[in-house]
Amino acid sequence: MSALGAATASGVRWGAAAGAVTAALQLVQMAVLGRLLGPEPFGLMAMLLIVTGFVTILRDAGVPEYVVYRQRLDPPALATLAWVNLGGGALLAVLVWGAAPWIARGFDAPELVAPARAVAVVFVIGALSAVSRAVLQVRLAFRPIAVADMAGTVVNLAVSVAFAMLVRADVWALAWGFLAAAAVRTAFLVGAARGAGAFPGLAFQPAEVAGFARFGAYRVGATVLNYLRARVDQLLVGILFGPQWLGFYSMASNLVLQPSQQVNTVLAGVAFPVLSRVRDEPDRLRHGFLKLARLTAAVNAPVMLGALAVAPVALPLIFGADWAPMTPLFMVLAMNALLRALAGVGGSLLMAKGRADWVFRWNLGVMVASPVVIGLAALSGSVLGVAVGLTLFQAVLVVAHQAVLTARLLGPVLPAVGRAVAAPTLCAAAMAAGVALLPLLPVPGPAPLLAAQLAAGVALYAALCAAFAPDTLREARTLLRGRA
């Protein structure tokens, strides 16, 4: 096996382990805190995360992606880019601290002022490790990244639950867990990348800043637009329907997106540096892209469709009756998450080819269309209508992204992508249908029924893939065993 293949397999294994641990712990955290806090604090925290997510994009300024794209940068250049991150993070922390009253006023939530000022510190904490994470990606050193992410999740769970139980059960429990997790992740990443020049030092090269400016400008623009498009639903739900309905919506969104994001972050984090290395070899690039599409469907489809099937049993059991309005939202958003994963397969390809400008233009168009879609869907008068409208819109984007952007780099690729994702997706759909029918059987109680659904889902999907998608099953097994 080649060194690149071995590193890819290692990255997938470690990323999968981190993703599984993180998703499981976050589910535990949301279930425990959901009962301790109720919907409203989650709605308030969702408002804060809309702001922090947006500001984090501005802080990074495309620097981590630029480091991965360039592949080889000397320590002075890396230290220069680390200073760019740190300076931007400090400036933005001050701005958010000062703007906290206006942020709270915009959401009509005066209790957000103090938590917003507290979480502003995260922009400095995260800036210290952004380049370190990128350097580890370039080295294909995915183990320390996985360890850092898992450690942060453990600390987030411990701090937030302890605070809610021992101090005060409100949005502050979520805020302190968020800050503690950021500090732990930064400590792990900086320690793992020590000696590479990824931490701000004495060196500063203005020429390096100029070199990354064009890439960074397009990348920031594209990421901001994509983020706003992804968060505009929560923003408008919070404004139009209030923090309680935002709590239901954001919890449902987090529950479906967390496992999907964990999986797709692993795949993208491995695929981006790997595809960057073969970007000038068309055949290998196309082969790698189609393999990424197939693997994305093989992992996301059973998770999302299976979650949709068990939701009517699982959510009332885990979260209680107070969260009942979340169930239909969760089921619709599970379909949205699957479609989003399939639409986003081309992102690593575009970045590997250095086409941040294309991503920017695409996201600009989507951003212009998204509020219109949400506005029309909101005319239904319900949050569920917004979720349905966004899911239908995402289905259009799945086809359009492959037909417009990916085809310009790899040729007419849409039929090949369709063939790559069809078998695992159909197997997952058949599995979900079978799992959804299990409540018709006389199973005593919701907990045994949920256990039976989960066990049946895993067994049925594996059996269907073995019968109808053996190549996908064989490829996944080979990759996980390290023969990528």
Taking residue 455's Cβ as centre, other Cβ atoms within 10 Å add up to: 11
Cβ-defined contacts of 2-8 (< 8 Å, 24+): 4/140, 4/274, 4/277, 5/483, 5/484, 6/482, 6/484, 7/140, 7/142, 7/274, 8/140, 8/270, 8/274, 8/479, 8/484
Query: What span, in angstroms and rounded, lies between the C-alpha atoms of 452 and 447?
Result: 9
For residue 391, pLDDT over 90 is answered with yes
Tokens for 334?
A: 């599970």
For residue 133, pLDDT over 80 is answered with yes
Residue 144's pLDDT band, with cuts at 50, 70 and 90, is confident
Q: What is the pLDDT of residue 181?
A: 92
Q: What is the pLDDT of residue 410?
A: 83
For residue 200, pLDDT over 70 is answered with no
With residue 222 as reference, give the H or E element that holds it: helix 206-277
Q: What is the pLDDT of residue 8?
A: 60
pLDDT above 70 coverage of the chain, percent: 84
Residue range 84-90: mean pLDDT, rounded: 83
For residue 202, pLDDT over 80 is answered with no
If 0-12 CB within 10 Å is exposed, 13-18 middle and 19+ buried, where does residue 98 land? exposed
256 three-class SS: helix
For residue 120, pLDDT over 50 is answered with yes
- Give the model confidence (pLDDT) of 238-290 as tens digits: 888 877 888 889 889 888 887 777 677 667 766 777 777 777 787 888 888 88
Residue 195's pLDDT band, with cuts at 50, 70 and 90, is low
For residue 482, pLDDT over 70 is answered with no
Q: Can you list the positions of beta strands (E) in 93-155?
A: none
Residue 12's pLDDT band, with cuts at 50, 70 and 90, is low
Query: What span, in angstroms and rounded, lies between the C-alpha atoms of 475 and 18?
Result: 21
Q: What is the pLDDT of residue 211?
A: 60
- Give the model confidence (pLDDT) of 33-68 as tens digits: 888 887 788 888 888 887 877 777 777 666 677 777
Query: What span, in angstroms and rounded, lies between the C-alpha atoms of 469 and 467?
Result: 6
For residue 197, pLDDT over 60 is answered with no
Q: What is the pLDDT of residue 251?
A: 86
For residue 432, pLDDT over 90 is answered with yes
Number of helices (H), then strands (E), in the chain: 19, 0
Q: Is the separation of the CB atoms in 127 and 199 below 8 Å?
A: no
If 0-12 CB within 10 Å is exposed, 13-18 middle and 19+ buried, where does residue 403 land? middle
Tokens for 104?
A: 């709270």
Q: What is the CA radius of gyration of the chain?
A: 22
Q: Pick 418 or 69 by higher pLDDT.
A: 418
Q: Is the separation of the CB atoms in 125 and 148 below 8 Å?
A: no
Residues in Cβ contact with 434 at an 8 Å cutoff, skipping those fewer than 6 apart:
456, 457, 460
Query: What span, in angstroms and rounded, lies between the C-alpha atoms of 11 and 4?
Result: 10
Q: How many angstroms separate the Cα of 127 from the Cα of each of 48, 96, 210, 330, 433?
A: 18, 15, 20, 33, 45
Q: Is the separation of the CB atoms in 37 and 268 below 8 Å?
A: no
Q: What is the pLDDT of residue 483?
A: 45
pTM of the predicted protein model: 0.68
Residue environment code for 343-377, b if the CB has 16+ CB neighbours within 10 A, otherwise e:
bbbbbbbbbbbebbbbbbbbbbebbeebbebbeeb
Q: What is the pLDDT of residue 455?
A: 94
Query: What span, in angstroms and rounded, lies between the C-alpha atoms of 364 and 359?
Result: 8
- Give the model confidence (pLDDT) of 326-356 as tens digits: 999 999 999 999 998 888 777 778 877 777 7
> What is the DSSP secondary structure assignment for residue 404, as one 8-state letter?
I
Q: Is the separation of the CB atoms in 287 and 271 below 8 Å?
A: no
Query: What span, in angstroms and rounded, lies between the C-alpha atoms of 446 and 438?
Result: 11
Least confident of 78-92, 329-343, 448-462: 78-92
- Calculate the average pLDDT of the chain: 81
For residue 481, pLDDT over 70 is answered with no
Query: What span, in angstroms and rounded, lies between the C-alpha atoms of 228 and 370?
Result: 9
Q: What is the pLDDT of residue 484?
A: 45
- Give the model confidence (pLDDT) of 93-109 as tens digits: 898 899 889 888 887 78
Residue range 181-195: mean pLDDT, rounded: 86
- Give the model confidence (pLDDT) of 14-40 as tens digits: 666 777 787 788 778 888 888 888 778
Q: Is the separation of the CB atoms in 478 and 484 below 8 Å?
A: yes
Phi-psi region of 199 (alpha: psi -120 to 50; beta: other; left: phi over 0): beta
Least confident of 200-204, 320-324, 437-441: 200-204
